[in-house]
Every structure is written in C-alpha cells, then in structure tokens.
Amino acid sequence: MFLSDLQSKDIISTKDGRRIGRIIDAEITPQGNIINLIIEEKRNFRKILSSSPDTKISFENITKIGEDVILVNL
C-alpha cells in the first residue's frame, strides 16, 4: 500500500466515532518503517480562522485500515 492510498481515507476515532481528519504526511525511519502519521484535522468555521498545528498519530494506534476509513485508538 502506498501513502497516497492512505491519504484518501478518513481517520475515525474508535473511542467516540468522530472524524479526526486526513493524512497529509508520514514520518518514516531510514529502514522504511512508518513512525507517525501526520493528520490535518477536520476544520470547522472557527478553526479555519485560527492556525493550529497538525496532529501526529503513532502508527501503533491504528486499529484497522479499511477500504474507506482508518480506525485509530486515541
């Protein structure tokens, strides 16, 4: 699977079912293992006006990668 395949999927929290955002980048070791996924959080009108840093999700927190979504345990 390529990073571009992951970027088209929504990130969903398994705790409360909310949509967290989408993958915009990844941190990778020199050996090619993914350490963190960098997520652009879902923005509403208030968040558009403010600048907030992107969220990092450890690859270990991914519960399931499906056809349309990625489930994470945060």
Q: Which residue from 66, 60, 73, 59 is spatially nearest to 20, judged by alpha carbons?
A: 73
Instruction: Give every CB contact of residue 72 below 8 A, 6+ residues apart in sequence.
Output: 11, 12, 13, 14, 20, 57, 61, 62, 63
At residue 54, the pLDDT reads 76
More confident residue, 2 or 72: 72
Domains of the chain: 3-72 (2.30.30.240)
Q: What is the pLDDT of residues 23-64, one digit of tens each?
A: 999 999 999 898 999 998 766 555 555 555 678 999 899 999
Rg (CA), the chain: 13
At residue 50, the pLDDT reads 55
At residue 3, the pLDDT reads 85
Q: Model-level pTM?
A: 0.77
Average pLDDT over residues 19-25: 91
Phi and psi torsions of 13, nearest 5°: -80, 135
